[in-house]
Amino acid sequence: MRVIPVSPIPSAHNSHVPHLSPLRYPGGKTWLLPHVKEWLANRRQPPLLLEPFCGGATVSLFAAAERLAQRCVMVEIDPDIATFWQACFRRADDLCSAIATFELTDQNVVWYETQKPVGLINEAFTTLLRNRTRFGGILNRPALLNPRATDARPRNARWYPATITRRIRIVSMLARRQRLEFIEGDGIQAIDALKYAPPGTVIFADPPYLHAGARMYRYHELDHEKLFEVLAAKGLDFLMTYDAAPAIVDLVSQHGWAAARVRMKNNHNQMRTEIIITPRPHPSLGTVRVRQESAVAGSPA
Ligand SMILES: C[S@@+](CC[C@H](N)C(=O)[O-])C[C@H]1O[C@@H](n2cnc3c(N)ncnc32)[C@H](O)[C@@H]1O
């Protein structure tokens, strides 16, 4: 039986950490920011932080804004999410104008549901609108509309133009200052391509999880063993999150890596346990080597 202790750092309460992502991302890692801060705290600004499965990019935005890393590179494979980030990086003013002038009604939401968007701004705006009008921000789901009141605000929409545009302008500013970059592509390849990474490069990996991934993302199939192999081959420091699935815990123990459990509340206010993984034990994060059999006190994974 493997035993994984609980991290001494509690997950963050939603209102106690900065929210910088313009997206409301399913599986977003805002709750993990105290761990990220602790992980990066003693490193005196790594020259590069790679986030190979960026989604809403909670960690890259936080690290770039707080200057916890000199440069953050975010990678995402979903072309709709990628287009959104490209618009934030390259055409923030146009995207913000589209958001500011949009009137949130069911009719307008339905119109965007049924149109095939054309052009960078239109495509990025459509992704943002879908992200903020669908259940839990999940792009796989239909929009939550109010069928009897076509002029009313769609139910459950999280559409806050002033907040969203402020966050997009922060992303654009960080990109202009060369603290943030975006690459559309495969995260495992991006790690593998770190051949000439400057010494001190670190990786924050939040891949689609083994079990929950299929519910949340269109791109949820991943070769988890390959991800572990590529990370091991690079020999760089990393912080990775996963569900505590036995197959993942097996991989952690096979690679001789360390893990800790973190209790968190998901978007639906349900308590869940996830694991954080580091290549070596990290005392302040509470990660310890995961062995096949352990006498360490704690609860089973
Ligand atoms: C758990 S989410 C990341 C959430 C993010 N940490 C946040 O706080 O918003 C995983 C993301 O990985 C993306 N993804 C899936 N397979 C990928 C791959 N092979 N390469 C890059 N991104 C991938 C998914 O589309 C999804 O956006």
CATH of the domain at 270: 3.40.50.150
Per residue in 248-262, pLDDT tens? Answer: 999 999 999 999 999
The Å distance, Cα 54 to ligand 1 centre, comes to 5
- Whether residue 190 is found in the same domain as residue 159: no
Please give the full DSSP string across 222-242, using - where no structure is assigned.
Answer: --HHHHHHHHHHHT-EEEEEE
- Domain carrying residue 126: 87-165
170 within some domain: no
- Whether residue 279 is found in the same domain as residue 189: yes
User: φ, ψ for residue 245 (rounded to 5)?
Assistant: -70, 140
The response to whether residue 76 sits with its C-beta less than 6 Å from ligand 1 reads yes
pLDDT band at 134 (very low <50, low <70, confident <90, very high): confident
Length of the chain, in residues: 301
pLDDT at 295 over 90: no
The response to whether residue 213 sits with its C-beta less than 6 Å from ligand 1 reads no
Residue identifier of the C-alpha nearest atom 7 of ligand 1: 28
- Whether residue 92 is found in the same domain as residue 33: no
210 within some domain: yes
Question: Is 247 in contact with 205 (CB distance < 8 Å)?
Answer: no
Quickly tell me which residue has 């639906």 as its tokens.
268
- Whether residue 140 is found in the same domain as residue 209: no
- How many independent structural domains does the chain possess? 2
Min mean pLDDT across 48-52, 103-107, 184-188, 209-213 is at 209-213
What pTM did the predictor assign? 0.93
- Whether residue 237 is found in the same domain as residue 272: yes
Name the maximum alpha-carbon separation found in the chain.
62
**pLDDT the model gives residue 149:** 44
